[in-house]
Amino acid sequence: MPTDLVLWVVLAVVVGAMLALDLLVLHRKAKPVPFGEAAAWSAIWITLALAFGVFVSLTRGGEAGGEYLAGYLIELSLSVDNVFVFALIFAAFAVPAAYQHRLLFWGILGAIVFRAVFIAAGTAVLAAAHWAIYLLGILLVITGIRLAASRGHEVQPEHNPVLRVFRRIVPMTGAYRGPAFVVREGGRWLATPLLAVLVTIETTDVMFALDSIPAVFAVTTDPFLVYSSNLFAILGLRSLYFLLAGLLDRFIYLRTGLAALLVFAGAKILLAAVYDIPIAASLAVIAAILGTTIVASLIATHPQRGRIVAGLKRVAFGTGLGVLTLGFFTVAASVRDGAGWLVLEIAIVLVAASAALAVLAALRRAGAAVWLGQAWAVAGTALLVGIGLLTVLD
């Protein structure tokens, strides 16, 4: 059996089995999803996604595995933005907590179908006219800039054209009827507001797909890698929603980070004709953007923000000292071509030692309580003095 067919079969079996377990066994009855269960399922979906990446690497090679992982990280980070919108949609429609998992389940099933269609269409367009990928790059850069300049999320169901048409042509009950999407009342079938919420979720996801799918095309145009990375990211979105619902107000720099991701993806596409950024470098940039966004958000919203920032500044001073130390050693090594440079070497070591002692004194005056900052300063000073002696005695 061809390798690609094996991958598609494995993907279908794993995803189908997990969805059947979720719908038919674990969540047969509508109920709120507690934090612990959401955390466990988030860990399961992330583990499955990473394990599938290993499987791709073993069957298709490390390059393909890296492209899958980069696509998954991009899609997962952009999916977090969906969590904000889902929370606003549920609030706008006053959806009871017990029905939210059911809505997300069917909403994500629809997203699986829509994204398959979009990815197939995008792949066909790129195969027929590869230059179209540069239009995607421009679109991503513009979208990233607009996202960075936007003020925040806003959900206004009454402005959704699909929902307006739906409400106009589909008779609907005035209130929820449990977890049902449609009910039979007065001899006719009626939609419930829950179905209207589902329509809103589906149309919203279509808009998100217009950003996320081109972003994944920036790292790979392989339809299997694009679809599988999208699939695992959106399948873990339900658990991620219930896990992060109470922490949404802390991710204050999320939109900035997502904007940076989109701009990077667009720039990668536009630069491909001149320089193709290696997948390892792309992964490093994506991880750095995500890590910085998360850490900066959590620190900025922490109750003891001032103390944490002060500690980080001291660590940064100490780390900077280590970098400067390395720089001084590099300069000293570069001028050791003759005995005539001995005076310059000694001067460099003395300047470096003085800088190290000055930083250490500044840390002590500031009451530095962070051991890492002090350790950098002490180690830097001791190392400079030791190597200085070796230099003089050599």
How far is the CA of 23 from the CAs of 28, 30, 191, 327, in angstroms?
6, 10, 22, 59
My answer on whether 131 and 278 are in the same domain is yes
Query: End of a domain among 257, 273, 301?
Result: 301
Determine the pLDDT at residue 339.
46
In b/e form, how buried is each residue of 361-388, taking b as 16+ CB within 10 angstroms? eebeeeebebeebbebbeebbebbeebb
Query: End of a domain among 253, 277, 301?
Result: 301
**How many whole angstroms separate alpha carbon 28 and alpha carbon 57?**
36
Please, which residues have CB within 8 angstroms of residue 57's CB and are 6 or more apart in sequence? Answer: 64, 65, 66, 68
My answer on whether 351 and 312 are in the same domain is yes
My answer on whether 312 and 297 are in the same domain is no
First-last CA distance in the chain: 67
My answer on whether 253 and 332 are in the same domain is no
User: What share of residues in the chain are helix, strand, coil (percent, to 5)?
Assistant: 80, 0, 20
pLDDT at position 113 over 80: yes
> Which element (helix H / strand E) includes 191?
strand 188-191
* Average pLDDT rounded to a whole number, residues 206-224: 81
The 8-class DSSP code of residue 170 comes to: S
Alpha helix ranges (H) inside 150-236? 161-169, 193-217, 223-235
How many domains is the chain partitioned into structurally?
Answer: 2
- Is the distance from CB of 66 to CB of 283 less than 8 angstroms? yes
- Is the distance from CB of 266 to CB of 277 less than 8 angstroms? no
Give the pair of three-digit tokens for residue 260.
Answer: 């940076």
Tally of CB atoms within 10 A around 46: 17
My answer on whether 313 and 297 are in the same domain is no
* Average pLDDT rounded to a whole number, residues 171-190: 82
pLDDT at position 255 over 70: yes
Instruction: From 316, 301, 311, select the one nearest 377 (Cα to Cα).
Output: 316
- Is the distance from CB of 176 to CB of 96 less than 8 angstroms? yes
Long-range CB contacts for residues 305-308, cutoff 8 Å, separation at least 24: none
- Is the distance from CB of 147 to CB of 262 less than 8 angstroms? yes
pLDDT band per the 50, 70, 90 thresholds, residue 16: confident
**How many whole angstroms separate alpha carbon 221 and alpha carbon 219?**
7
Q: Is the pLDDT higher at 181 or at 302?
A: 181
Which amino acid, residue 206?
A: V
My answer on whether 135 and 236 are in the same domain is yes
Domain that holds residue 376: 306-393
Determine the pLDDT at residue 349.
63
pLDDT band per the 50, 70, 90 thresholds, residue 236: confident
- 């990233």: which residue's tokens? 144
Q: How many helices (H) and strands (E) does the chain have?
A: 14, 2
My answer on whether 291 and 379 are in the same domain is no
My answer on whether 158 and 232 are in the same domain is yes
Highest mean pLDDT among 11-20, 21-30, 194-203, 342-351: 194-203
pLDDT at position 338 over 60: no
* Average pLDDT rounded to a whole number, residues 365-384: 58
R_g of the chain, CA atoms, integer Å: 27
Determine the pLDDT at residue 202.
82
- Is the distance from CB of 246 to CB of 39 less than 8 angstroms? no
Please, which residues have CB within 8 angstroms of residue 365's CB and are 6 or more apart in sequence? Answer: none
Please, which residues have CB within 8 angstroms of residue 49's CB and are 6 or more apart in sequence? Answer: 72, 76, 232, 233, 236
My answer on whether 79 and 30 are in the same domain is yes
Give the pair of three-digit tokens for residue 385.
Answer: 């003095």
My answer on whether 214 and 353 are in the same domain is no
* Average pLDDT rounded to a whole number, residues 317-339: 60
Give the pair of three-digit tokens for residue 311.
Answer: 């500690």
